[in-house]
């Protein structure tokens, strides 16, 4: 692990010799040039007094770095997350001290939970005032230390270039995550000689653990002898750019698999070995087969409680192989038989080379009854309703993904619409799923979608939001308006905090306490921001509205009034056995 308390530059932060120091420039100029040296071309932020020297320096670099002025600092971080998740780059957010810095906490925590590489830069009061409760001073180090890979307060101008180099290395290497740099105002203003050297090595920090050949052989042997293998695909595959290596691995040994929410787009939805999503609202077949397989192969996932349910009953019959880059994940939740430590892009091919070509047709055929049962009891009614009535969330998601030929980036907020989107949106390429997984942050969707569009400007970005989450960050309509961000926003409006209402119906005797929302006219609000919009209340209007949205050259808000008290099924009650699955409407397995 990284020592977060390091407060002096490490003289061997790079094995390469530092460039000769020549030009004398301000700390703010050093910061901007250091960001350019790391390849930063886009960042998201909000100015203020303690960071003003940096924004002044930024004025002279408008052609090199695009700064997107968001309307709230939390959204700067969420936008940087969306940018990082689709672009394979480090996201950057730039904010001021005090409330500017503390407003980033939710986004930083979200990034830490979902292993998103970020560098968040905050201004700070002059170093002589630190600890004096000066105007807009906050203990950024103390507040962010538990939710970052590394945090460092820069008090000297001489340390800026070094700290930036180290920050980008730590954020992007190994298991990615957020880093915070807190820069005192005098360090921004003072001058020194500038040189920059990219960090390639840090003493006491090993981002990728060494591969143990014994574990590779043991994993291959278990898989070769397995009669009922099942793989669980996580985001680590995407973060490690190991999609091709995963495909080769799965296909050679003919291993069926399910995916975590964040791992969904690692493999195409229509791959014949893909049996869908794991977890509380995941597909029935992979959840049921978790407790029937003989070898469970977890790849780049952390056995989150929403995937495992009750650990006392989870996969007790299976031998567990766990591939992960972070040794801290081994045996944290689920006892591992074989731990394959390392980067999946490196370790998967090593195991694949030792695998025998297999065919598990009989085992895969056992998935079919569960697939059919789920389709008949849930999916058919959700995606292809025949009895009229209110529009369903699932059918909206299906129509949108089909209209984009399954090539769009799906960004979601958090709630029922998130589960419906992850269940029914289809993926044909990687880095197409952007959602708040570990933290479950309402308000994430809109700013993350803005960032995703900057990270992948040539791709269609569809943002699915609920009426509750949208209103948490609806001010980012202003960012969309100012920069003409071409995102497609699909508001699935049921006038409720839908997921909380669902739990109240199932577990709190339908006592709907503080979950009904009296909503504004969202289309009028969008119009005030010069965002084209349309509200759909009838099913026969839906196809035309989606076509209009996708054809429109610019941002578009499609509000769809969906069933007021819709439910997301299947559902595994919180803390229940992974096979204790509710199908709804009186249906049972």
At residue 574, what are phi and psi to the nearest 5 degrees? -55, 125
Same domain flag for 554 and 445: yes
Give yes or no: residues 304 and 389 share one domain: no
From residue 331, alpha-carbon distances to 87, 184, 208, 322, 417 in Å are 32, 41, 18, 9, 33
Q: Is residue 489 part of a domain?
A: yes
Q: Are residues 391 and 332 in the same domain?
A: no
Residue 2 lies in a domain: no
In this structure, the answer to whether residues 341 and 447 fall within a common structural domain is no
**What six digits make up the tokens of 101?**
């810095």
Q: In this predicted structure, what is the pLDDT of residue 387?
A: 75
Q: First and final CA of the chain: distance in angstroms?
A: 45
Q: Which of 336, 365, 394 is the last residue of a domain?
A: 365
What was the pLDDT predicted at 119?
A: 98
pLDDT along the chain (589 residues), means of 10: 45 42 90 98 98 98 96 98 98 98 98 98 96 95 98 98 98 98 98 96 94 97 98 98 98 98 98 98 98 98 96 97 97 97 98 98 98 97 90 98 98 98 98 98 98 98 98 98 98 97 96 97 98 97 98 98 97 95 89
Residue 430 is predicted with a pLDDT of 98
User: Given this model, what pLDDT does residue 522 score?
Assistant: 98
* Structure-block tokens of residue 437: 């997984």
What is the predicted pLDDT for the residue at 1? 40
Kindly state whether residues 336 and 280 are assigned to the same domain: yes
Indicate the number of domains in the chain: 3
Is 458 inside any structural domain?
yes
375 domain-assigned: no
Do the domain assignments include residue 10?
A: no
Q: Classify residue 407: in a domain, yes or no.
A: yes
| Among candidate residues 239, 123, 128, 131, the one with its CA nearest the CA of residue 184 | 123
Exposure string over 451-477, b if 16+ CB within 10 A, otherwise e: bbbbbbeebbbbbbbbbbbbbbbbebb
pLDDT (0 to 100) of residue 16 = 42
pTM: 0.95
Query: Which whole-number Å values give the CA distances from 486 to 80, 458, 542, in the listed order?
Result: 17, 10, 21
Same domain, 413 and 495: yes
Same domain, 498 and 469: yes
> Please, are residues 70 and 44 in contact by the beta-carbon 8 Å criterion?
yes
Alpha carbons 74 and 93: distance in angstroms, whole number:
10
In a domain, 569, yes or no: no
407 and 518 within one domain = yes
Domain that holds residue 130: 24-193
410 and 357 in one domain? Answer: no
**Statement to judge: residues 160 and 222 lie in one domain:** no
Residues recognised as catalytic = 73, 135-136, 185, 499
Do the domain assignments include residue 17?
Answer: no
Measured CA to CA, the distance from residue 82 to residue 413 in angstroms comes to 12
Predicted confidence at residue 404, as pLDDT, reads 98
Q: What is the DSSP code (8-state) at residue 475?
A: G
178 plus 251 within the same structural domain = no
Closest by CA to 479, choosing from 107, 74, 84, 98, is 74
Paired tokens of 198 = 């990219």
Q: What is the pLDDT of residue 207?
A: 96
Residue 473 Cα distances to 272, 283, 443, 448, 465, angstroms = 39, 31, 5, 11, 11
Asked whether the beta carbons of 48 and 95 are under 8 A apart, the reply is yes
Please give the structure tokens belonging to residue 409. Answer: 């980036």
Q: What was the pLDDT predicted at 15?
A: 39
* Strand (E) or helix (H) holding 150: strand 150-154
Q: Are 275 and 308 in contact (CB under 8 A)?
A: no
In a shared domain, residues 170 and 233: no
CB atoms within 10 A of CB 539: 16
What pLDDT does 52 receive? 98
> Residue 142: which CATH number?
3.40.50.970
């Amino acid at each position: 692990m990284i020592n977060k308390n390091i407060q002096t530059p490490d003289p061997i932060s790079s094995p390469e010799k530092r460039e000769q120091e020549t030009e004398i420039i301000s700390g703010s100029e050093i910061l901007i040039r250091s960001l350019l040296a790391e390849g930063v071309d886009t960042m998201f932020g909000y100015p203020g007094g303690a960071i003003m020297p940096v924004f002044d320096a930024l004025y002279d670099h408008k052609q090199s770095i695009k700064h997107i002025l968001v309307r709230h600092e939390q959204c700067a971080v969420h936008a940087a997350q969306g940018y990082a998740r689709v672009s394979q780059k480090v996201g950057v957010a730039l904010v001021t001290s005090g409330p500017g810095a503390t407003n980033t906490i939710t986004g930083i925590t979200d990034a830490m939970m979902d292993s998103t590489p970020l560098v968040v830069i905050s201004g700070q009061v002059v170093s002589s005032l630190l600890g004096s409760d000066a105007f807009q001073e906050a203990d950024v180090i103390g507040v962010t230390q538990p939710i970052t890979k590394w945090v460092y307060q820069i008090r000297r101008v001489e340390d800026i270039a070094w700290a930036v180099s180290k920050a980008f290395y730590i954020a992007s290497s190994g298991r990615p995550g957020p880093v915070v740099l807190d820069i005192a105002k005098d360090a921004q203003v003072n001058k020194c000689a500038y040189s920059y050297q990219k960090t390639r090595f840090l003493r006491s920090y090993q981002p990728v653990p060494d591969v143990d050949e014994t574990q590779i052989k043991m994993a291959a042997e278990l898989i070769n002898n397995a009669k009922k293998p099942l793989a669980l695909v996580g985001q680590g595959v995407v973060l490690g750019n190991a999609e091709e290596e995963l495909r080769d691995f799965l296909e050679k040994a003919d291993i069926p698999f399910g995916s975590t929410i964040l791992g969904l787009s690692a493999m195409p939805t229509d791959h014949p070995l893909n049996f869908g999503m794991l977890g509380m609202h995941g597909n029935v077949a992979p959840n049921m087969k978790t407790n029937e397989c003989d070898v469970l192969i977890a790849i780049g996932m952390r056995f989150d409680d929403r995937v495992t349910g009750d650990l006392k009953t989870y996969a007790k019959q299976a031998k567990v192989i766990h591939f992960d880059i972070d040794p801290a994940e081994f045996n944290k939740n689920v006892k591992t038989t074989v731990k394959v430590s390392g980067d999946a892009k490196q370790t998967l091919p090593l195991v694949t080379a030792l695998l025998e070509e297999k065919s598990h047709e009989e085992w895969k055929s056992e998935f079919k009854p569960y697939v059919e049962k789920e389709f008949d009891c849930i999916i058919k009614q959700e995606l292809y309703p025949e009895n009229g009535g209110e529009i369903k969330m699932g059918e909206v998601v299906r129509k949108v993904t089909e209209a984009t030929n399954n090539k769009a980036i799906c960004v979601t907020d958090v709630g029922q619409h998130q589960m419906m989107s992850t269940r029914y949106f289809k993926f044909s390429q990687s880095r197409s799923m952007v959602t708040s997984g570990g933290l479950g942050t309402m308000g994430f969707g809109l700013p993350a979608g803005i960032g995703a569009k900057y990270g992948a400007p040539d791709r269609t970005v569809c943002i699915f939001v609920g009426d509750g989450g949208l209103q948490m960050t609806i001010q980012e309509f202003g960012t969309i308006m100012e920069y003409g961000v071409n995102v497609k926003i699909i508001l699935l409006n049921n006038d409720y905090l839908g997921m909380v209402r669902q739990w109240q119906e199932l577990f709190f005797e339908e006592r709907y306490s503080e979950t009904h929302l009296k909503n504004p006219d969202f289309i009028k609000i969008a119009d005030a921001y010069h965002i084209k919009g349309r509200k759909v209340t009838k099913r026969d209007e839906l196809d035309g509205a989606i076509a209009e949205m996708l054809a429109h050259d610019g941002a578009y808000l499609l509000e769809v009034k969906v069933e007021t008290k819709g439910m997301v099924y299947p559902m595994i009650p919180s803390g229940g056995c992974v096979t204790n699955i509710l199908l709804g409407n009186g249906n049972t397995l």
